[in-house]
Structure 1
Amino acid sequence: MTAAVSTELRAVPAERENGERRRSNYLAKAYPLWYYLPAGLLFLVFFAIPTFASFFFSLTRWSLFDWEFIGFENFRQFLSEPQLIGSLRNTVVYAFLTSGAKVVLGMGLGLLLTSQIRARGLLRSLVFFPVLVSTIGVGVMFTTMMHPTDGLINTALAVVGIEGPKWLADPQLALISVALVDIWKGVGLATVIYMAGIVAVPAEYYEAARVDGAGAWPTFRSITLPLIRPATFTVITLSLIGGLRSFDLIWAMTSGGPGFASDVIASVVYKQYQAGFYGLSTAGNVVMFLVVMLIVVPLNYFMRKAEVDQ
């Protein structure tokens, strides 16, 4: 009997030790997950909940104090808006125009500013400075500069005998004029991304190309361009998303005018919100979200696939 009691007394500490060991192993495995908790809470509060709320309220006629479920009526009404087709076309044109220009100019400036030129640091600061300036401030400044009669740009052109166009007053030029300002403001960020990609290319590749007698163009085509492809994909994705969602610069410069010539989806949504059609404007936001996803997700998939196959 004494032996049985002694065996039981030895088993109790052993079981307690095994339980503590299992608990310790569980805490050790769960410990890294706690680092995800703050980011997860921020994502839930500021993205997931507002996104699902937007999808829900797009199916309602709502105000600050009341709502009424009406199904897809908001979408039917929004998609039947006469200026929607024009705004959708303007959105796509604006996004691809600004994105393409930022890729080309950003790559060229990135190559220039990573070369051995004088005042390289000053030039880098000048190129990146517009990124730091308020978008509304840039819009107001260029609206004044592009005035058809008293603007600085047309006044300077008149000095050399050139009659300047009506930049923001001409329906054929308004959207392109705003796009040019957007390119000027955003090309600095594209340049920085390209500079980071270019300086990451191993110098041994360029040395081998020089030993083989390769010129500047073959070196760029065969070494630099393929190896900075991730930077190109990043610039395309960021600038395309920004262009599809663009609103503040367009609203500051033209408010969608003249007429509806420079209206984009975001400006149409804002006009509906100004008119008090909150459910309709929420449905428009959902439509804009779907347009961005339908363009960006497949494009991103094919770019990543091309990067893997490289």
Structure 2
Amino acid sequence: MSTTAIAAPPRRRRGHRSHYPLWFYLPAGVVYGVLFIAPTIASFYFAFTRWNMTGTEFIGFENFALFFSEPYLFQGLVNTFIYGVLTSGLKVVLGLFLAVFLTSQIIARGYLRSVVFFPTLVSTVGVGITFTVLMDPGDGLINQALAVFGVDGPGWLTDPGLALISVALVDVWKGVGLATLIYIAGVVAIPQEYFEAARVDGATAAQRLRHITLPLMRPATATVIVLSLIGGLRSFDLIWAMTQGGPGFTSDVVASVIFKQYQAGFWGLSSAGNVVLFLIVAAFMIPLYWKLNRKEVDR
């Protein structure tokens, strides 16, 4: 055997890390920068201008002053928060209930999960058009079904007191599947030993839900609250497809007020409205997100 020493490969310097894995982030980073960061920066810029397809004119905070003088802005703000809180609250409650039900020992569990999640995959505009037909006060299938039982169905989308709530219920129907999926993942992640020990100690199903399932699903609850609230505060497409802010301005939200300004040709004004909406959502969600995650850490 040769006693010639084999040269050892050169050692890497301590603390030196390869940048090779970072290149895998590049495609996603480019897409995120082009589709989100660049439009956001452009929106902030155009909010301070009077602009159209031919040019721009810097006018400072004039667009913001005009936006806050919008006569129906306050009602749009109130409707936005009502819509966001209502939809997110129902998604949390119904998503939790459905997740517990769909993780129990029931027949066709996989099929039922698919049925619950399916509306999430359907086009929002398509859902809005479909439910606009179903909720028609005269020929709609919902009121016709109520008439069979002798109930006079209301004007779901024509009654000023019901229009926003009706759209919110459709939003919950469409979005509760995602909340349920998140909760299912949370339930499945709980070690079964906890439930088995609770059964041995004689805990009922309600006690297991209260003392095991709910506390250990707090991260999932925080995720559902944050996602559904952001979606509710920014909601536009479903409301526009079903009511266009009507009847009158009773179901207008901030996003629909902004779109109406854009339709009227006030592009700089609508850009200022988008900036305001962005800041409102950020100011509301960042402290809430921090508080929810702080509670998880404190536990």
Correspondence for 1:74: 63
Q: CA deviation at 1:27?
A: 8.2
Correspondence for 2:228: 239
SS of equivalent residue, structure 2 residue 19:
helix
User: Are 1:150 and 2:134 an aligned pair?
Assistant: no
Correspondence for 1:229: 218
Q: CA deviation at 1:249?
A: 0.5
TM-score by length of 1: 0.90
Distance between the aligned counterparts of 1:116 and 1:192, measured in 2? 17
Query: Which letter maps to 1:142?
Result: F
Choose the corresponding residue for 1:267, options 242, 256, 275.
256
User: Are 1:140 and 2:138 an aligned pair?
Assistant: no
**Alignment RMSD:** 1.7
Correspondence for 2:31: 42
User: Are 1:53 and 2:19 an aligned pair?
Assistant: no
Would you identify which runs of 4 or more consecutive aligned residues in structure 1 move more than 4 Å? 21-28
Distance between the aligned counterparts of 2:99 and 2:13, measured in 1? 52
Which blocks of at least 5 consecutive residues in structure 2 are unaligned?
1-9
Choose the corresponding residue for 2:240, options 207, 228, 251.
251
Correspondence for 1:131: 120
Distance between the aligned counterparts of 1:41 and 1:27, measured in 2? 26
Task: Give CA-to-partner distance per residue, 1:54-98, whole Å, 9 cap, x none.
Answer: 101000000012000000000000011010000000000000100
Correspondence for 2:294: 305
Which blocks of at least 5 consecutive residues in structure 1 are unaligned?
1-20
Q: CA deviation at 1:25?
A: 8.3
Distance between the aligned counterparts of 2:30 and 2:126, measured in 1? 34
Distance between the aligned counterparts of 2:229 and 2:271, measured in 1? 22
Task: Give CA-to-partner distance per residue, 1:228-277, whole Å, 9 cap, x none.
Answer: 11111111111111001111100000000000000001100110000000
Superposed, which structure 2 residues align to 1:14-29 within 5 Å? 28-29=17-18
Query: Which letter maps to 1:253?
Result: M
Choose the corresponding residue for 1:198, options 187, 190, 200.
187
Q: CA deviation at 1:120?
A: 1.2
Superposed, which structure 2 residues align to 1:72-111 within 5 Å? 72-111=61-100
Would you say how many aligned residue pairs link Structure 1 and Structure 2?
290
Query: Which letter maps to 1:82?
Result: P
Distance between the aligned counterparts of 2:113 and 2:30, measured in 1? 38
TM-score by length of 2: 0.93
What's the % identity of the aligned pairs? 66
SS of equivalent residue, structure 1 residue 81:
coil
Task: Give CA-to-partner distance per residue, 1:88-113, whole Å, 9 cap, x none.
Answer: 00000000100000000000000000
User: Are 1:278 and 2:259 an aligned pair?
Assistant: no
